[in-house]
């Protein structure tokens, strides 16, 4: 995309974690170009600031940046408060930050690896929902979009901690969706489950293939019926839909961005 779109999320105020690059950056561009104001947060505050500057160069006043360690609950409270002040509210939360990678069993099943992935992939989602909820309710209709993974639905070797934490995001999303519906808060909550996407998250797989990116993409695409890996905008378009009022009657659902992989 190269031009500002009209209307689909006009007036929405969005916070996206892990947004300095990869999927998060694609989501930020997509939502801003369709009319939203976006707060991009990342543990790498400098890169988040660069992204916001680039968005604002095209769409003045559309983006704000914050350094943000999603594993730190105190930082969640501070970042959300600042974003709400800057944007005049919060109507969409995208819990995108995550870590992963395929490891040998002895490496993947260490207490340290499990703790790190639990804190960043799963517990941070709870922190985000907890601290954003009062602001989302005030801006209803509102939407929470939790980025899980196909690995949260279908297991893979060497990825025990990743599969477990992403499956936790899937189930936690449903619990939040039912709670908000029961309370009549008009805050939807859905999860998005990408397969292999052409972002830096593929770097461990490329390293295992001796640095051959083309060979890695070809190998990963073999199990996907559409015979390719995904691009960041494939996920960003789904997030755009879930952020918009077009999805007003959808909650507690999982969206598979997998080229048909889990249909087999």
Catalytic residues: 162
Angle between helices 124-138 and 73-87 (to 10 degrees): 30
Angle at 88 between CA 85 and CA 94, to 5 degrees: 90
Burial letters for 23-53: b for 16+ Cβ neighbours within 10 Å, e otherwise?
A: bbbbbbbbbbbbbbbbbbbbbeeebbbbbbe
> Quick one: which of 256, 244, 188, 197 has its CA closest to 11?
244
Q: Region of 239 please: left (phi>0), alpha (psi -120 to 50) or beta.
A: alpha
Q: Note the residue count of the chain.
A: 264
CB-neighbour burial class of residue 176 (10 A; exposed 0-12, middle 13-18, buried 19+): buried
Residue 10: count of CB within 10 angstroms of its CB: 12
Distance in angstroms (rounded) separating the CA atoms of residues 235 and 200: 15
């Amino acid at each position: 995309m190269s031009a500002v779109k009209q209307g689909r999320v006009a007036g929405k105020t969005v916070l996206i974690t892990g947004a300095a690059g990869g999927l998060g950056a694609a989501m930020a561009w997509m939502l801003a170009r369709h009319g939203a104001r976006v707060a991009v947060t990342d543990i790498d505050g400098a890169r988040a600031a660069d992204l916001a500057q680039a968005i604002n160069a095209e769409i003045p006043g559309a983006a704000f940046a914050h350094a943000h360690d999603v594993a730190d609950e105190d930082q969640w409270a501070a970042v959300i408060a600042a974003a709400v002040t800057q944007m005049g509210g919060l109507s969409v939360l995208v819990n995108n930050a995550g870590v992963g990678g395929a490891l040998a069993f002895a490496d993947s099943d260490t207490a340290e690896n499990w703790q790190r992935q639990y804190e960043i992939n799963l517990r941070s989602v709870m922190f985000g929902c907890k601290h954003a909820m009062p602001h989302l309710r005030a801006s209803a209709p509102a939407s929470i979009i939790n980025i899980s993974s196909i690995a949260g639905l279908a297991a893979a070797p060497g990825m025990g901690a990743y599969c477990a934490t992403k499956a936790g995001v899937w189930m936690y999303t449903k619990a939040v969706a039912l709670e908000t519906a029961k309370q009549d808060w008009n805050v939807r909550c859905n999860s998005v489950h990408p397969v292999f996407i052409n972002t830096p998250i593929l770097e461990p797989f490329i390293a295992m293939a001796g640095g051959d990116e083309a060979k890695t993409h070809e190998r990963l695409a073999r199990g996907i019926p559409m015979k390719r890996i995904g691009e960041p905008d494939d996920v960003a378009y789904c997030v755009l839909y879930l952020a918009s009022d077009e999805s007003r009657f959808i909650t507690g659902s999982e969206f598979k961005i997998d080229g048909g992989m889990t249909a087999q």
